[in-house]
Amino acid sequence: MTHGNVPGMSLVRLSPLVVLWWFCALLVGGAVGVVGTVAHRQWAPWILLVSLLTVAVAGVLVRAWLAMPGLVAYALGWLAAVQLLALSGPGGDVLLPAQPLSYAWMFGGFAMVAVAAFAPRRWFAG
């Protein structure tokens, strides 16, 4: 079954397995966000670059695995983890202080998710 006038765009049948896969993509995004947020300030700027590359590679993997709905779930998991860890902790500690390295992690992560989203469709065909 195709969707409207868009050839090759098939409707996704929602099954419990598909929802479970999307939840797994959400968890992958959360894990990448947590690990990257905790580690991005170590050995600057090398771990930051590795963390951003990890966001992009995991995003491409999730898009190849679950197409765009999975990538959206991945992005939401990453965003939720990073934004929750940007808040002040119970003792007032902050993992993402208002410094260029933290901004590079947050905005660079958005850019890496966009790279995965706008990668050529032919990479994921077949």
pLDDT digits (tens, 9 = 90+) for 21-61: 999 999 999 999 999 999 998 988 999 999 999 999 999 99
Find the mean pLDDT for residues 86-113: 93
Three-state DSSP class for residue 98: coil
- CA dist., res. 14 & res. 53, Å (int): 31
52-63 residue pLDDT tens: 999 999 999 999
- Nearest C-alpha neighbor of 72 from the set 126, 12, 3: 12
Q: What are the domain boundaries of the chain?
A: 15-124
- CA dist., res. 58 & res. 53, Å (int): 8
Q: Do residues 68 and 106 lie in contact, with contact meaning Cβ atoms separated by under 8 Å? A: no
Q: What is the pTM of this model?
A: 0.86
- Name the amino acid, one letter, at 100: P
